[in-house]
Structures are given as C-alpha cells and as structure tokens.
Structure 1
Amino acid sequence: MRDSKRLAAIRKLPCIRCGNPNSQAAHSNSSGHGKGRGIKADDAYTVPLCVGCHQRFDRFELGTRTESEAMFDQWLVRVNRMLAMEEALLHKDFITI
C-alpha cells in the first residue's frame, strides 16, 4: 500500500542509523513486509536512511539478511514512536489554539 503522507514524514526525519539530516524513505527488504522481486514493501515499512546508509542497507553490508531484518525491525519501532510523538504534539497544539 502506498502512503504519500508517511513517506513525506519519513523524509523529514534524520537518518535513523547515523543522524544525517538528509534522509530518504527506505523500504524494508523483507518478504514478510511485502517485498518481492521488483516490488517495494508496503510504505508502512519505511524508515529514514541517508543515501550512504540506504545503499549499505540494500547491499546487506550492515549484516546478513537475517541481521538486516532484525535491525530494520528495531529501527521501525523507533521511527513509529517518533512519528506518533510528532502527531501527538501537532494534535495537542491544534487543540490548545
């Protein structure tokens, strides 16, 4: 499923691996998240990675496939928390205005 709102929010976050402020939405490489040959995973399975970290992640230079999937799952939990906090802050500001 494609979610342009989530992708835009992800791109505003710093790289989850190194903190570089110039990030892009990196999709999961796990078939469990919908990844297939020539098919991107669902946009719900995206994290912010800078170009360098994204390339290393996609080439499995950060670990084996199993290690990469575990790392991605940890990143995803952190990113989802960050996005939820941002949403809560936006909602709180909206209510108090």
Structure 2
Amino acid sequence: MVPRPGSTPGTGRRDTTKNADWLAAVGSLKFCVLCGAYGIQVAHRDEGKGMGMKSADALTAALCPGCHHELGNGNKLSRDERRAEMNRAIVLTLEKLAAGGLVIVNKEALRREAA
C-alpha cells in the first residue's frame, strides 16, 4: 500500500510539516517577493528532502512562475546560487506575512517553552 502524500506511514497521522493555513497565507500574497510581478505560486524549498517529497510548508516562498522556474530548474544560476536565492525569497515571504499580520506569536506556547 502506498501512503497518501503528506501522511506518516503506519501512524494514521498527517505529516506535521504540512500546513494548509500556512500555504493559504503564502498564497494570499499577490506579488512575487523577488521581482514584484503580479500573480504568484507557492514555491517549496528543494533542499533537504527525499525524491518526490516536498520540504516543510514553512519553507515556502511567494514566487511568480518565472522566478519559480528559474530557482527550481533554471540554468542561469548555479545550484548553490539558486538555493541561496530561494532562502532569500523565503525570508522575504516571511517578512511580508509578518508585515501583513499573518504571522502571530502563540504567547501561551512561548511561555511553556520558557518554563
């Protein structure tokens, strides 16, 4: 039996790295964080994952189709340069989400961690 994408085989639980709310928040951004073009795709980081698997949803960026293609499959930059640019795009996406009030600190969880 082949497990569903995003499921943890044998546990009956969803993979905790998948978060539909996070993907919706990133998808709500209207402009590419790298070039400013209107119309984005939610692009996952392609490092540190197995074949056919996506990285954690928290490691996504709001990219136009052109930037998404260039960072995923392009030949203008080296692999290391593409990964560095994707990391920059993820940080810029997080900055846009925070500025728009879409990233909220869970104060109770923060207190539990501090205790």
TM-score, length of structure 2 as denominator length: 0.66
2:35 pairs, out of 18, 39, 43, with 18
1:61 aligns with 2:78: no
Query: Which 4+ runs in 1 deviate beyond 4 A?
Result: none
1:60 Cα deviation (Å)? 3.4
1:46 aligns with 2:60: yes
Per chain length, whose mean CA-contact separation is higher, i.e. which structure has more relative contact order (CA < 8 Å, sep 6+)? Answer: 1
1:28 corresponds in structure 2 to: 45
5+ residue gaps, structure 2, are 1-16, 105-115
1:66 Cα deviation (Å)? 0.8
- Give the Cα–Cα distance (whole angstroms) in 1 for the partners of residues 93 and 76 of structure 2: 19
Secondary structure of the structure 2 residue equivalent to 1:18: coil
5+ residue gaps, structure 1, are 91-97
1:71 corresponds in structure 2 to: 85
Bigger CA radius of gyration: 2
Which letter does structure 1 place at the counterpart of 2:62? Answer: P
1:62 Cα deviation (Å)? 4.3
- Give the Cα–Cα distance (whole angstroms) in 1 for the partners of residues 67 and 82 of structure 2: 12
TM-score, length of structure 1 as denominator length: 0.77
Deviation track 1:53-91 (CA, whole Å, cap 9, x = no partner) reads: 211211133411111111111121121111112127x9x
Secondary structure of the structure 1 residue equivalent to 2:57: coil
Higher relative helix content? 1
